Chain A
Amino acid sequence: MKKVFVKGITNYERFRTGISAVEARGASEASMMLVTAPAGFGKSQMVDHWAVATGAAYLRAKVEWTPRYFMTELAETLKLDSRGRSKDIFGRIAGVLGGQQISLVIDEVEHCLQNSAKVLEAIRDLSDLTEVIVILVGMDQVQAKIARHAQISSRIAKVIEFQPATPEDVTELCKQLSEVDIATDLIAEIHKQSGGRVREIMNAIATVEQTAKRNGSDAASLQDMAGQTLTHDWQARRPRMVKAQGSR
């Protein structure tokens, strides 16, 4: 399977549109963006790719985070002195983030909501002060939880909810990632079985490639995959087989 970042899909467009909207805001307006999706929709890959391209500071939130722990970790990521009083650390961080306009990514933001969301308030303070873009990444339920804290949710300029991949997205992913040609009927089957989850689509493409190569072919159709496992149904704990054409 080819190792490339696929841009021509709808979730990428959603993400880019969100970033553009936040970038175009006025200086005094909110500069936080929330990205949510269930597991397996490709949000980490998307946000990581953006963080790498822009040089954003990236932190994965931890259950044990307190405002002080968060700031210590951020200072260490930026290679700043993390000793001293909290307000001194805050000052050093603000100087670098604001001075360099370094964006901030907080993954697994659910962990910032404990203890009256004090960590998220510290993140909002940094965002307000330095005017840099802050991207919060979390599971699909996190938006409702953040909405309980009006002083934070009012600072979120944009919420991007990743959606299941469309049939066109699956076609694009197959085209760009697969080393063999995948027929339209098989693409439709991958879309159906995966439920639009990018992780499962990638696994299915790898399986199709292996089968095609084993058969000495550079193409694969639904018929070629008949009787084989394409994806795995994790809830029912069983593999999803490709039915032979004409069978019920």
Chain B
Amino acid sequence: MTWNAEKLLTAISDSNPRHCITDVRLAELTGLEVNQVQQSARTLISHELMEKTVKGCLRLTRAGRHAVESGASIRAKHVLKDTLRVRVWRAIRIRRKFTAPEIISLVADGTERGDITSNVQKYVRALFKAGYLIEMKKREAGTALTSNGYKRWWLQDDKDTGPKAPVWSLEKQRVYDPNTEETHDISGKPKSGEVQL
């Protein structure tokens, strides 16, 4: 999906810088109505992403070029599927301190196959071994009569590497982070320590 303002930014970015791009010319280039162009142009100018010269030509500011570049760089990259682990990683980033059952109640949509509790717990354990999570000393009280409670985990700000979920490979015993493009070997001892809180 493209937002109208981005259509304007991209059209100017792709045009010959020597040409004067007016509202009418932008409407031709983007397929938008002139009033839509004028409305979006006003917003872009007010946010200093675009400017109008004395001759009435529209051109990008440096911030406008940043907007075009960051939008394009995101679209150029492979977008991950909406898998259970992707949703678990999103939930961890939102909650920061959590138990596995808390995360399960946020990610389960009824379409999962297999044992979701085991899947989530194994993924969380792999993230812990790879150094993303800290295991907290105090456990959350369980609801079952004989429960020992639930382990609590903590994703610290500096371990939140980005929106893409780290990819855990059970066979290779490693975790690949598509945000940093780093691979963590998790065959040995966990990297994270335990903190007393």
Contact = CB atoms under 8 A, between A and B. Distances in A.
B71 A99 contact: yes
Interface string B38-52: 010001100111000
Contacts of A224: none
Interface residues of A, number: 44
Contact of A101 (B1, B62, B68): B1
Given A52-B90, A58-B94, A131-B3, A3 B71 contact: no
A125 B47 CA distance: 8
B4 interface: yes
A87 B71 contact: no
B84 to A, nearest CB: 11
B75 A100 contact: yes
Contacts of A96: 70-71, 74
A54 B93 CA distance: 14
A130 interface: yes
Majority secondary structure, A binding face: helix
Majority secondary structure, B binding face: helix
A206 interface: yes
A95 B163 contact: no
Nearest to B10: A99
Interface of B: 1-6, 36, 39, 43-44, 47-49, 61-72, 74-75, 82, 86-87, 90-91, 93-95, 101-102, 104-110, 117, 143-145, 161-163, 179
Given A48-B94, A91-B64, A99-B3, 8 more contacts: A4-B110, A53-B87, A58-B93, A79-B179, A87-B48, A92-B70, A99-B71, A129-B49
Interface of A: 1, 3-5, 27-28, 45, 48-49, 51-53, 55, 57-58, 77-80, 85, 87-88, 90-96, 98-101, 125, 128-132, 206, 209-210, 213-214
